[in-house]
Amino acid sequence: MGDNPVMRGISWFAEHFIGLFNESATQFAGLVTGILPLLMVMLTAMYAITTWIGEERVTRAIQWAGRWAVTRYTVMPFLAMLLLTNPMAYTFGRFLPERYKPAFYDSTVSFCHPITALFPHANAGEIFVWAGVSAGVMQAAPDKYATLAVLYFMVGLIVILIRGIATQWMTGVLIKRGGHEETFKRYDEAYAEGKIQGVAE
C-alpha cells in the first residue's frame, strides 16, 4: 500500500498540510508566551499611571513644552503619546500656532513606534514594528534586549527633534512659495490673541 503513488501523494499532502499549521502554531505559541505576559502587565501599569497623573496636569505640561522648539519636538510628542496614545495624541496640536502644526504631527507620528519599546500601551495596535525586530534580538542575544529598547527610545527622541525642525523649516518655505504668507500672518495674530480652539477657560 505504501508504494501506491496516489496514497503516497495523499500522505505527503497530509503530512505537510499538518506540518505547515504545526509550524504556525509553534510560532504563535512563541509570540503568546514570549511577548504577551510582559505586554499585559506593562499595559495595566501604564493605563493606571496615566489615570493617576490625570489629563489636567498633562495638558498644562504640554502647553509649557510647546513654547520652545527643543521641547516642542521631544517632550511634547512624548507626553502626548504617553497620555493620549495613538491616534488621539495628535489632538494636542491644537495648542500650537498653525505654522507649527505639520512639524508637530510629523514629530509625534514618528515617535509612535519608538515609544512602544518602553511604553507599549501608547500604540499597542502597532506593537510589532518593535516587537517583531526585538523578538529576533531576544533570541540571538537576550542580554542586549534592554539596551536596544532604551536606544530605540532615545534615538527616536533625537530623530523626532530633527524631523520636527526640518518640517517646521519646510513648512515655512512652502508658506512663502505658495503665497500663503498673509493667511498665516493672520493665524499667528489670532493665536497671539489667545484664540486657540478647543481650550476651555
Partner 1 sequence: MSYQTVKIVKGSGGWGDGLVLTPTDERHVVLSVTGGGVHPVAAKIAELTGAEAIDGFNTHVPDEEVMAVVINCGGTARIGVYPKKRLPTIDIYPGSPTGPLAQFITPDIFVSDVGIKQISLVDEATAAAAASAAAQTQSKEGGASDQSSTTTATATQERPKTVSQTQAEKGGLMSWVVRFGNFIGYVINTLLSSGRQALQIILQTVLPFMAYVGLLIGIVNYTGISQVLANSVTPLASNPLGLLLLSFIVAIPVLSPILGPGAAIAQVVGVLMGTQIGAGALPVQYALPTLFAIDGQVGCDFIPVGLSLGEAKPETVSVGVSAVLFTRMVTSPIAVAIAYLASFLL
Partner 2 sequence: MSTTLWKTTVASVGGDAGDMIDAGVLILFGDPVPQALADISVVHTDASTLTRPVRPGDSFEFAGAAYTVDEVGDHAMINLIDLGHIVLYVNQPDQKLLPGAIKVSGPVFGTPASGETISFSGA
199 sits in the region (left: phi over 0; alpha: psi -120 to 50; else beta) called beta
Q: Does 197 bind partner 2 (CB under 8 A)?
A: yes
77 burial level (CB within 10 Å; 0-12, 13-18, 19+): buried
What is the C-alpha separation between 137 and 187, in angstroms, rounded?
A: 48
Which single residue is written with the C-alpha cell 503513488? 5
Size of the site for partner 1 (CB under 8 A): 96
Which residue's CB is nearer to partner 1, number 2 or number 142?
142
Q: Does 37 bind partner 1 (CB under 8 A)?
A: no
Q: Does 33 bind partner 2 (CB under 8 A)?
A: no
Residue 32: name its binding partner from partner 1, partner 2, none (Cβ under 5 to 8 Å by kind).
partner 1
Would you state the cell numbers that stand for residue 77, as one nine-digit string? 510628542
What is the C-alpha separation between 118 and 9, in angstroms, rounded?
A: 50
Contact with partner 1 (CB under 8 A): which of 11, 174, 188, 195?
A: 174
Contact with partner 2 (CB under 8 A): which of 22, 51, 91, 147?
A: 91
What is the C-alpha separation between 88 and 124, in angstroms, rounded?
A: 13
- Give the chain's largest Cα–Cα span: 90
Q: Does 21 bind partner 1 (CB under 8 A)?
A: yes
Contact with partner 2 (CB under 8 A): which of 88, 133, 154, 155?
A: 88
Q: Does 125 bind partner 2 (CB under 8 A)?
A: no
Q: Does 132 bind partner 1 (CB under 8 A)?
A: yes
State the residues that interact with partner 2 by CB under 8 A.
Answer: 87-88, 91, 197
